[in-house]
Chains A and B, each alone.
Chain A
Amino acid sequence: DTAVSQTPKYLVTQMGNDKSIKCEQNLGHDTMYWYKQDSKKFLKIMFSYNNKELIINETVPNRFSPKSPDKAHLNLHINSLELGDSAVYFCASRLGHQNTEAFFGQGTRLTVV
């Protein structure tokens, strides 16, 4: 049983298209995140949800729209994809208080051509 699962693992698409990435966790966590990892490996937080409520939006373009239908799911929809959106996107989850570790999904490698 995978604790945090993301789909798809790879996504190749053309500029201007709209795409979605899905994430599900079966750990009973109340907090979920989307991180973007660029080619230099930097993990930049994009969004954070706590109990389905958006609590952090890190100045991400509004072409990116997260959605959390319930505590176990956090999806990411991207409109009008641009070349600069190419990266690996990681979903992660943890229990909301400070002294807990994060569990990451396998990542979605998005390539915009």
Chain B
Amino acid sequence: GQQVMQIPQYQHVQEGEDFTTYCNSSTTLSNIQWYKQRPGGHPVFLIQLVKSGEVKKQKRLTFQFGEAKKNSSLHITATQTTDVGTYFCAGPLLIYNQGGKLIFGQGTELSVKP
């Protein structure tokens, strides 16, 4: 079945360093979504990428969708302690045109040392 793989599982950085997490799908995706889960919290939607090769920015966060629409990355420039959390990518799988499901990557847990 469709799988979404995400690496690394953990990343520890010093505040001010950059951070990148990578996501790969076994199949072509119609779109890819990114979520952030703060410690003790719930996943919160960050962004969705739809087009091949798309790049979107949110302040210090840069999201990319690969040309083949099978991989994606999230890059954070100059991390801050507020960036701490687990970042998930997710790809949709349509089921019989009835909503379907979001398949999540394993997540990358980011810790930032002040």
Contact = CB atoms under 8 A, between A and B. Distances in A.
B102 interface: yes
Nearest to B31: A99
A96 B93 CA distance: 11
Contacts, number: 80
Interface residues of B, number: 30
A102 interface: yes
Contact of A55 (B41, B48, B98, B104): B98
Contacts of B35: 102
Contacts of A56: 95, 100-101
Nearest to A102: B102
Contacts of B95: 48, 55-56
Contacts of A42: 104, 106-107
B43 interface: yes
B37 interface: yes
A6 to B, nearest CB: 9
B68 interface: no
Given A56-B95, A98-B100, A41 B86 contact: yes
Interface in B97-114: 98-104, 106-107, 109
